């Protein structure tokens, strides 16, 4: 699930031993939004002495770009205020969770915060569970974190809500003893029906007034496995006439005889999210629990549970922010799982997916994703963000860092007839015009080269300035050439080769006589070309809102049939033979590309197109401004 108090009595990590943003090359920038104002006020008033946030995804799928916003917010606040952010698996539902997802979440979070907020990442030693202690005669449970540089040389792991099953069970018993919880025998369907509607009071359970002794006995027998799934639940005893339906005796525990990925077969009763949420925050010493807006109506229950138990330490504070909605994609993990299971994509890390793993494999830099999250900021109102803004952030980042290279994706053979046979020249090319420190490279030039098929037209349309019969063009960093002849397949009529002449006086692309040439083409020497597979990715859905479909259809009807095009036999400059998995390049005139970390092999590279060169965000911004 996408959502995130420590006082003097709590066992906390000493601030002097903790890394601060100053250890990461300077102080964290001062951001301002309503959540940070709340944190600042809590510090100023002494309600908290340090800031502890948390990122608690449910391990039932891979993280997506919406989770990236939550990661950026929670770790960003921890970073700004010199605090920590606990990474916790919200694993209270054994039916949908898996170790694969836990591992993927860990990898995604560490990748996204690396070099930025990894000093704020709070974990725990493997197997450690909350410590039980006495504070002024009251029972308390607390689990201290391990921070970077403090015992992190051994085995460590994220926090797990399932590590709190025993304390949560004890807290449930305490609610029963206080007369604030009871065992109910109604079926789930009956409970839903009896809850009522916001403007109509609900119907009390027939079992609401069981004695404390009977409730304790039944709940202990529930834990012992005496009853089948769905036979009984533990419910909070609050107010069946509350206008907030979440306070109408919500279910706290249900019976589920299913193995759990982390606890095995030790439990057959599992806490509901609303019960585990606030108490998990409390056990970890979280000060600020930041959730998406759908949890706003749950906040009164979050606070009721903490207050009903008379806990000895300061309570965490829940506040909500608007979740991220983005065009041309879906954010529901249930729907993303369908895409995987039904074979619409090739896995959770398919580069077309909005998952962090998919974006990483596509070549999106973590810095660009964080820049995107910074630009969209934090608000209280739901809105739709254009995917073009994310692509714009990626382009800006890669424009600064990616070395340039020549690659011809759909090759057309060009023979320069007046160039000496057997001669090879090394042409000097700039690696990145945005960064002179990246220097230059030598690219071989010879009599036979490849250009893009789209860069030649036998019968050019109006205002077509690229190569055509009799037309002169510039070869990037090399020479000016003029098309003199076209060779076609005698059966299909398809152009298979272009013959041309070059001007030896134009080496480097300059014209001594000052004549103007309107088109500059990229090229690759045929004798030195490296063959490669290139995968061209587009948006997974062809409409902005995949949820907006005609009656009787679902979101899959909007899938983009051209979201992936695989090109084989592409011709690349020879320097790319050494490209390693994870390397990024700008293929001049084509876009930014990433060496696939899974499918590339020595001598057989595979490149994923990260994003095209064309940036439509400025046009969208202008249109929105006019609107």
Per-residue pLDDT tens digits for 368-409: 999 999 999 999 998 899 999 999 999 999 999 999 999 999
Catalytic residues: 58, 323, 333
User: What is the pairing mode between strands 425-430 and 495-503?
Assistant: unpaired
Encode 62-107 in three state secondary structure: CCEHHHHHHHHHHHHHHHHCCCEEEEEECCCCCCCCCHHHHHHHHH
Query: How wide is the angle at C-alpha 32 spanned by C-alphas 30 and 36, nearest 5°?
Result: 95
Q: CA–CA separation, 291 vs 379, rounded Å?
A: 12
Under 8 Å between Cβ of 372 and 393: yes
List the chain residues with pLDDT less than 50.
Answer: 1-27
Q: Which residues contact 394 (CB under 8 A, 6 or more apart)?
A: 364, 365, 368, 592, 610, 611
Q: What is the pLDDT of residue 259?
A: 95
Q: What is the pLDDT of residue 626?
A: 55
Q: What is the pLDDT of residue 151?
A: 56
Q: DSSP letter string over 21-38?
A: GGGGTSPPP----HHHHH
Helix axes 299-308, 273-284, angle to 10 degrees: 60
For 225, which DSSP code? T
Q: What is the pLDDT of residue 148?
A: 84
Q: CA–CA separation, 301 vs 242, rounded Å?
A: 11
Measured over the CA atoms of residue 452, residue 458, residue 463 and residue 466, the dihedral's sign is: positive
Three-state secondary-structure class, residue 339: helix
Q: What is the pLDDT of residue 16?
A: 31
Q: What is the pLDDT of residue 66?
A: 97
Q: What is the pLDDT of residue 621?
A: 60
Under 8 Å between Cβ of 31 and 51: no
Under 8 Å between Cβ of 524 and 339: no
Beta bridge partners of 256: none
pLDDT tens-digit map of 331-364: 999 999 999 999 999 999 999 999 999 999 999 9
Taking the CA atoms of the chain, what radius of gyration do you get in angstroms?
31
Maximal CA-CA distance, the chain: 102
Q: What is the pLDDT of residue 603?
A: 86
Q: What is the pLDDT of residue 14?
A: 31
Q: What is the pLDDT of residue 266?
A: 97
């Amino acid at each position: 699930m996408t959502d995130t108090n420590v006082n003097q009595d709590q066992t906390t990590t000493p601030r002097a031993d903790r890394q601060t943003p100053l250890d990461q090359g300077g102080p964290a920038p001062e951001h301002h939004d309503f959540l940070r104002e709340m944190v600042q006020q809590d510090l100023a008033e002494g309600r908290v002495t340090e800031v502890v946030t948390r990122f608690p995804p449910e391990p039932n799928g891979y993280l997506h770009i919406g989770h990236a916003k939550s990661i950026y917010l929670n770790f960003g606040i921890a970073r700004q205020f010199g605090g920590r952010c606990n990474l916790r698996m919200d694993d209270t539902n054994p039916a949908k969770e898996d170790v694969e997802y836990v591992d993927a979440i860990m990898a995604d979070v560490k990748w996204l915060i690396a070099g930025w907020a990894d000093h704020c990442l709070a974990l725990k030693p493997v197997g450690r569970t909350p410590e039980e202690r006495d504070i002024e005669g009251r029972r308390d449970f607390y689990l201290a974190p391990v921070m970077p540089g403090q015992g992190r040389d051994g085995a460590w792991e994220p926090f797990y809500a399932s590590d709190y099953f025993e304390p949560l069970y004890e807290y449930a018993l305490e609610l029963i003893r206080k007369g604030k919880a009871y065992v109910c025998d109604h079926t789930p369907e009956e409970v839903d029906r009896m809850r009522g509607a916001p403007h109509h009071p609900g119907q009390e359970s027939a079992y609401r007034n069981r004695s404390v002794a009977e409730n304790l006995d039944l709940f202990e027998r529930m834990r012992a496995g005496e009853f089948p799934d769905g036979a009984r639940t533990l419910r909070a005893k609050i107010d069946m006439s509350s206008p907030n339906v979440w306070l109408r005796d919500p279910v706290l525990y249900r019976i589920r005889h299913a193995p759990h990925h982390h606890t095995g077969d030790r439990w057959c009763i599992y806490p509901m999210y609303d019960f585990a949420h606030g108490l998990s925050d409390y056990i970890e010493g979280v000060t600020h629990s930041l959730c998406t807006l759908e949890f706003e109506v749950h906040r009164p229950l979050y606070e009721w549970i903490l207050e009903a138990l008379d806990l000895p330490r300061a309570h965490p504070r829940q506040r909500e922010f608007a979740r991220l909605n983005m065009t041309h994609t879906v954010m529901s993990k249930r729907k993303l799982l369908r895409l995987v299971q039904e074979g619409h994509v090739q896995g959770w890390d398919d580069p077309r997916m909005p998952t962090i793993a998919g974006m990483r494999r596509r070549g999106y830099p973590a810095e660009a994703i964080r820049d995107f999250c910074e630009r969209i900021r934090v608000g209280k109102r739901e809105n739709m963000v254009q995917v073009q803004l994310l692509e714009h952030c990626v382009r800006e980042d890669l424009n600064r860092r990616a070395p340039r290279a020549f690659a011809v994706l759909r090759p057309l053979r060009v023979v320069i007839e007046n160039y000496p046979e057997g001669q090879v020249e090394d042409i000097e090319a700039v690696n990145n015009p945005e960064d002179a420190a990246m220097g230059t490279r030598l690219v071989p030039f010879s009599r036979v080269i490849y250009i893009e098929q789209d860069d030649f037209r036998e019968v050019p349309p109006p205002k077509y300035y690229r190569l055509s019969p009799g037309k002169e063009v510039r070869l990037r960093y090399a020479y000016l050439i003029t098309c003199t002849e076209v060779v076609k397949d005698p059966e299909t009529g398809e152009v298979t080769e272009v013959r041309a002449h070059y001007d030896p006086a134009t080496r480097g692309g300059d014209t001594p006589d000052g004549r103007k040439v309107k088109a500059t083409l990229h090229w690759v020497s045929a004798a030195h070309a490296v063959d490669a597979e290139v995968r061209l990715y587009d948006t997974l859905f062809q409409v902005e809102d995949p949820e907006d479909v005609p009656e009787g259809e679902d979101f899959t009807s909007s899938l983009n049939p051209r979201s992936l095009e695989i090109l084989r036999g592409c011709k690349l400059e020879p320097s790319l033979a050494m490209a390693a998995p994870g390397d990024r390049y700008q293929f001049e005139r084509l876009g930014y590309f990433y060496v696939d970390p899974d499918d590339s092999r020595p001598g057989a590279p595979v490149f994923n197109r990260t994003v095209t060169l064309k940036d439509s965000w400025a046009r969208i911004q202008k249109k929105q401004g006019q609107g």
